[in-house]
Structure 1
Amino acid sequence: MAKLRTDQLGRALSGTLAPIYLVSGEEPLLVQEASDAIRNAARAQGFSERELHHIDPSFDWSLLHSSASSLSLFASKKIIELRIANSKPGDKGSRALTEYAGAPADDTILLIVTGKLDNTAQRSKWYKALEGAGVHLATWPIDAAQLPRWIGARMQSAGLTADHGTIELLASRVEGNLLAAAQEIEKLKLLTDDGVITSQLMASVVADSARYDIFTLVDKALAGDARGAVKSLHGLRSEGTDAIAVLWALTRDIRQLLQCAQLIQQGRHKDWAMKQAGVWAKRQGLIGGALNRLGSSQLQLLLRQANGVDRACKGMRNANPWDDLLDLVLSFSGVVSLKPANVRLGLKL
């Protein structure tokens, strides 16, 4: 399987398309944009029909073969998209993907979208079966040091220019949330005629954020301000904020806290652990305070709750994502709304 970086994808899609594309990674914006680019290139070459399947343990993998062997009356080429949330297709999925990779269907592109694929996954049967048949695009998170450069490149592609200090201002505002950065850049495009973004304009845009801000919500949860966090959550919901965006911000900090907690358990100093986990200097007080009240086992349960919210957002659980988010925010803030046993039971629904 040819392995590509995100900056190589455009050129790779300008020629003959591969029969299989695997897009993996934890950064939602990069995964989404890479998948969009593949779909758009396929449509431009006549792949006008698309079938989307969310993979869970109950998925019928025979649908892959039947979908690939049947076309609608209105299309001669098809895109089959498989979204594997946990990056593990299971035994049946492994066999189905192995068989499909051995003889990819004509006039069909198989697009597989997963989370991060670790070394174990890349040694698995299904991954190796795909190696010789398609293309793997692995997306990687943008860390704090890389973020200004990423924002600068994004602004340049949008026809905008700004000096380093102005770009740093936006980087400090979004703190690693690429989706938020992309949205701010789109806003800036509407506010300038000549494409030049001054520090004054950037400061005004940064200050003119939503009344209920996702990052404010997370900071209040980290600080143990349950009342304030819940108020922010209700405000974000009333303003039409996407639940998955709220979940992304909460999950990011929960993962970072868990990494810190595990390093501390290994005997590392808290300050060293936070630096190793990539905690921004100005957030170390908040993160450090949260580490004083949240242990590794609690953080692992929070991650399980976050995974349950994710499945509710995708329709894979019979639950309201915003109700689940409320429980997650309360637990994150230090308020026990449900006993751990009840949380685990709820995640099965």
Structure 2
Amino acid sequence: MPNKQIKAINFLDSTKHELTKFFLYGDEHALCYKSKHHCLKDQDLQLLEKIYLDLNDDNFDSLLDQSLMSNSLFNEKKAVFISLNKNRLNRELIKKFQKILEYDTENILVVEILSLTKKTIEKDLINNIEGDAIFIDCFPPFESEFKNFLKSNLPSYLNKTKHIQVFLEMYEGNFSALLNDLEILKILEIDNEEMAMKVFSNNGDKNNYKLIEHISKRDTNLALSVIESMKRNDRNSVALLIWILSRDINAIKHVSQGKNIRSLGIWENQVQWYKEISSRITAKTIDKLVNEVNIVDRKFKGVLNGDPWNGIKDIVLSLSA
């Protein structure tokens, strides 16, 4: 069976997956993030065991076999997330990709190859190795695709030609930033045109942008005042803060690794704040904060006991230290 290739914005509109192997490639972070979660849309997450592997690991072949062939006492199915951070392929890596593509399994395989060029992926993987996988193109969409996405995904009260044209000009192809603001509409349950346009037109003044600036300047009082304001105005905005902190911590990690963070939906005039924080935070602390955000998320969803707002404040204080 030949591999399938699909644009991420079209993949996100798909209602059912016929295959179980997904390869994500491209540098539009929000598309990668949403596509990764969409790969699991047909699964019961409570019954899914998650396993994480590095394709560059010397023992990858045996680890993959062990992950897929061993039985789980508590989970019906497994989702194996495989990552590769190298920006070029060699014979050994191609053999590992071939093993994945030829693997016969009902478990879910999600492979992230975000540092390879589109040309390399198409030439050396999609068109060179037989398999039954879906290759999801997470590179920035063309303007025509951008426009079609807006027509299909904007709420009815915003789905007007004049607004679509404004969004195309406002975001200038920055698809991650657009997805960020569309997510805010859902999280804050905004359902009228006037309020929605304020979200888009005032994106330079939103609390999340001020929050990272206050954190960077170690102004804990102002940073915590943003949290208190959001809590006071809408207690459900904790979900938005979880998303913001996850993105910001990921951006800090990218900066510390010398990577470009514009693809994460970070505006150019804010890069300085992430650089400042990365200069004073260790990799160990970043990993600790990632874990703390996950705990806050589980408290918010009721999986763990505790007030998620206290966890958010602790994370902000750690970043501001």
Where 2:105 maps in the other structure, the secondary structure is coil
Contact 1:214/1:246 (8 A) holds in 2? no
Alpha-carbon contact 2:216-2:320 (below 8 Å) kept: no
- In structure 2, the gaps of 5 or more residues are 228-240, 291-314
1:111 alignment partner in structure 2: 110
Q: State the one-letter code of the partner of 2:8.
A: T
In the superposition, the TM-score normalised over structure 2's length comes to 0.57
Q: Deviations over 1:220-259 (max 9, x none)?
A: 8xxxxxx99636899568735634423677879x8599xx
For 1:3 and 1:114, the matched residues in 2 are separated by 14
Give, in whole Å, the separation in 1 of the partners of 2:13 and 2:199.
34
Which residue of structure 1 lines up, in the alignment, with residue 69 of structure 2?
69
Measure how far apart 1:80 and its partner are.
Answer: 1.8
Q: Is the 8 A contact 1:25 1:139 kept in 2?
A: yes
User: How many residues end up aligned between the 2 structures?
Assistant: 265
- Give the C-alpha shift of residue 95 in structure 1: 3.5
Aligned to 1:5: 7
Distance between the aligned counterparts of 2:108 and 2:127, measured in 1? 18
Separation of aligned partners in 2, 1:77 and 1:47: 10
Determine if contact 1:47/1:79 at 8 Å carries over to the other structure: no
Query: 2:22 is matched with which residue?
Result: 21
Residue of structure 1 in register with 2:234 after alignment: none
Question: How far apart are residue 178 of structure 1 and its match?
Answer: 3.2
Residue type of the alignment partner of 1:27: E
**What is the aligned-residue identity percentage?**
11
Structure possessing the higher relative contact order (Cα contacts under 8 Å, 6 or more residues apart): 2
**Cα 1:204/1:106, change in 2 over 3 Å:** closer
Alignment of 1:1-349 (within 5 A): 1-9=3-11, 14=16, 17-41=18-42, 43=43, 48-55=47-54, 60-61=59-60, 62-86=62-86, 93-102=93-102, 104-119=103-118, 121-122=120-121, 130-142=129-141, 150-156=149-155, 159-167=156-164, 176=174, 177-187=177-187, 190-192=189-191, 197-198=192-193, 200-206=194-200, 213-215=207-209, 230=217, 239=227, 240=241, 242-246=244-248, 255=260, 313=286
- 1:56 CA displacement: 7.3
Does the aligned pair in 2 maintain the 1:27–1:139 contact within 8 Å? Answer: yes
Q: In structure 2, do the counterparts of structure 1 residues 114 and 214 end up closer, same or farther at CA, with 3 Å as the change threshold?
A: farther
- Which amino acid in 1 is paired with 2:111? I
Separation (CA, whole Å) in 2 of partners of 1:131 and 1:311:
40
CA-atom RMSD, angstroms? Answer: 5.3
Cα distance change, pair 214–14 in 1 and its aligned pair in 2 (3 A): closer
Q: Is the 8 A contact 1:71 1:77 kept in 2?
A: no
Partner secondary structure for residue 39 of structure 2: helix
CA distance in 2: counterparts of 1:123 and 1:323, whole angstroms: 45
Match of 1:336 in 2: none
Question: Is contact 2:51–2:67 with CA below 8 Å preserved after alignment?
Answer: no
Unmatched segments (≥5 aa) in structure 1: 221-226, 258-279, 295-301, 328-349
Deviations 1:70-120 (A, max 9, x none): 121344543322133456687765433323433x13322322123153156
